[in-house]
Structure 1
Amino acid sequence: MRKLSNQRRMTVALVMAVAAGAGISAPASADPGNPVELVVGLHPGVSADDALAGADVRVVDAGAVTEAGAVVVDVAARRAESATELLRRNPDVAFVEENHVASKADVTPNDPFWNEQWGLRKVNVPAAWSMTTGAGVTVAVLDTGVNEVSDLTGRVLPGYDFINDDADPVDDEGHGTAVASVIAGRGDDASGMAGVCWDCKILPVKVLDEEGSGDYLAIAKGIRYAADHGAKLINMSLAGSSSSPLLNSAVQYATDRGALVIAAAGNENTATRQYPAAIPQVLSVGGSTSSDGRYEWSNYGTSWVDIAAPGCNVAQDYRGRGYGDFCGTSSATPLVAGVAALMLSRKPDASGPFIGTVLSLSSSKLGWTTHGRVNAGRAVWAVTDTAAPTVALSAPKAGTLLHGTVTVSAGATDNVGLNRVELVVNGTVAAVDRTAPYSFRWNSGAYHGVVKVAVRAVDWTGRVQTATRSYEADNRGPALSVTAPRSGSTVRKAFTVKVTASDKRGVSKVEWLVGGKVAGTGTSFKVTPAKYGKTFTVRVRAYDKLGNVSYSPTYTYKR
């Protein structure tokens, strides 16, 4: 029977550390009783007067135009929404946003091992803690069982043991307890370490034995059990090399009930798919370093490893004897699950798949995963976003004739943040820009006639807004009709070749090429065979007034 092994490296060390923290800013809301300050971004060359015409706002800081490409205005709170919408519809305006105030708002726990927990600081968990610590959320841990060690006191719910088929999922190997402590270890209690979601509950589901192995049937049962017991988040720090309809079916069962399955990509330093991580509905996790590189042992692949997280984290020993480094994709996975739990506590009605989408889109970009490295502060902030982004196509102007390489510019904003802006041509994504101001240098040369050009803004929740214009593209030379002796003919006397050239923009030049060199111009050309070799070629080249060029077929003659 196929076995599925846990994926980890763990060492236990009884070394205490001094707690310390790092500062991350978080947005603060404006007082609705006071005038609202708006920052109005301007496209290059646009004056503040033109951009603000008709908006009935008062300029507060005109100097920001040269310093930040924007002008600061204020407006009565009751009119802020309507003024914002009016300004966003102005094609001269690149963006409009409230002049947010930032302040130090992250939480620094007093746990002795906090100084060692670089991974949580790397992914901005302290910023997320300023919004929630995860009350009301349960994470199912499918592993070797979970023991209620000191940092998990009051966190572990009754669960089930599918190895021994009883209701006592004790951890006799240690891996599951380490995983659970990364997710839900008590934080800010002046003891031990801080879990990502220190107010979460753990549903222990034992599917791996004392050697860290379990068959696919036990794991499939565990997935279904977790979904049936209301867990919207299922952590599986385990991996196997074989795909399986049994696992596929169990994951689909959980997904259909609103759960998100999160699984380790494995530790073989390979792009070879591992399961259940590579199942499409599963959020697959790789292990990243403190510099956002890839740990040499982490599996990778932009087609199946969805997201990364720090791969070495402090965890508690399953016998409660101490704390140590817990390294591997088994450690990265519960960090992601803990962030997902914080998000779910902010939006309890969200489905697991929606949480997975926001986690992915709000990540910080990396090259060896599909989406990037988890960003907890951004993800927890973004999950409550209910507004679609706004987007306007500012250039080229309507009626512009497209020819050659053109600049397509867009103004796009979102009340929480944008994942990306896409350039879409005739329904196909041609380019992506992730940094404002959004602009694309696009070669229109492959298009002629009517072209639909769109800019599509996508926010961190996956909401989309599109602005589209139809343009005419002209990237073809004149149409040519040539009257000449049949190619391949033998000619001895002089003969005349004629051409009719037509173009909507007008024809600027017609050239006659003999043997590849210009031999004459105009709409007719007299060919004297004696001037050329025993075999020679004749061809017409024509230019329109935009510089587009076209060629006739090549005529070959003998004499």
Structure 2
Amino acid sequence: MSDLALHGASKIRSDPGLAFAVVHAQNPESFMAKMKAKPYVAYVEYDWTATTDLTPNDPAYSKQWGLASIFAPSAWDTTQGSKSIVVAVVDTGIDYNHPDLKGNIWRAPDGSCGYDFVNMDNDPKDDNGHGTHVAGIVAATIQNSIGIAGVSQTALMAVKVLDSTGVGSYSAIASGIKWAADHGARVISMSLGGTYSSSTLSNAVAYAWNKGCLLIASAGNTGGSVMYPAAYEQVIAVSALARGDYFASYSARGSKIELSAPGSSVYSTMPTYTVYMNSKYGVPTSYAYLSGTSMAAPHVSGAAALVWSVSLSLTNQQVRDILDQSAYDLGSAGRDTYFGYGKVNAQLSVSTAKETATSNPDFALSSSPSIVTINKGETGTSRIVISSIDGFSSAVSLSANDLIGATFSFGLNPVTPPPGSSCQTDLTISVSSSAPSGISVITVSGQSGSKSHSTQLTLNITDSAAPTSQAGVPSPPQNLRVSTYYGSVKLIWSPPASSGGSPVTGYKVYRGTASGGEIYRKSVSTCYTVEWGLLRGIRYYYYVTAVNANGESAPSNEVSIVP
């Protein structure tokens, strides 16, 4: 009979990698005392629980105020992120089929999106809502004409360690952290916390840090001391801000606080199906406002992913130092117990990374839209963006995998991105009338010397037998003009000559720091817009497109200006 059985205990599960076992004992205190005396037992402790750091709240502020607050739009002039950077959301899971998230979901070779340590399977589907909200803050898809924008366009790995009520054991969290580190996560984002320290949890944190991961956690909504795992030395503890850079009263505080970020009334994604938070708190499906340090931490996680997107060669300590040194100081000068080093500053962090990182020139590919629906016998397009990393400026040759019933062609091929910026080319997809209906995956690969990267998009081939409208996309907007306007930039244009047979519903504004390297910035409903917060002395390039129910027009004329 084993020692466990002799002492009235049974094993629930074990994790050989972290060298712990979870057991159930009829008399825990007696069992722990006896086990501590065993020479082969390193430690014995309770398997404490952690919960989501969330304070449900009604909408109070304009949507996504946090992005401008951390200067993310200015950071996007340099990089919107890279799918090669994986952010693990260690939480309640993710609605990986959400229209605003599925384009940025990480996939394992078997097609799964992560792992579920609550139900012990490879389906980390969110049944609470909290994890999906966190995921949207990190990396909701930009430039897809729906919903919101995440801080970074990086890959989201779903690691479910909390149950439908938002509660999970330290052992599950520890296993989730190790699993994420072992499966390629660069950033581990944890919007959860527990009151007690734990050797099991501490060992997992140390394991991931030593593998090169950057760990970021919410400080807690206690109004008091920082919770665990945020309180560990290898973890960035994030406190919460209300709009206007005010310290959120519910946020934990203390010497462990390292950075602060927007946490109150943050608008982000929610599962499209009914989950616990809908029935318990009355939170809407699809999108909602939530508050808590849980919402602050993913702002920092997204900023960290942007920094790594600029230079893959940075270590986790270098990224951490850049985030700390680039923070926007709030409160008392220097590090303090409320704001830490200050509010995370995505723009300055990214620009600092560009200046200080060891050069390792490389490129990254992304596609927009990442889901294309085409009727049989028709064509469609997706824009392929080639981003320069660490000054990369070599030619990239593009190719796409063979697909039954479809052919591909690139507008420009090969393409050469300007150093530190990006360029783009359109992938035209022609679907034959005899192509099989259904969904397929197109892999676009880029090759430059020994460097090779790819991006994927989903092709949905539909049957065009049903009558369809003959309307098309609008013609390009006309006569785009640019001028300075009280330290900002003002853009004005005229409507397209043709609406394409369907009313124009809005315009998309693109901006870049190199001609031909513009990327999507925002959508507007009028024929003018004002751009604030631009860096002086840098030339910015712009064009706009028109949008109707059938799609997006070709670009307008390009303009440029130095603010």
Choose 1 or 2 for highest CA Rg: 1
Task: Give the TM-score normalised by structure 2.
Answer: 0.49
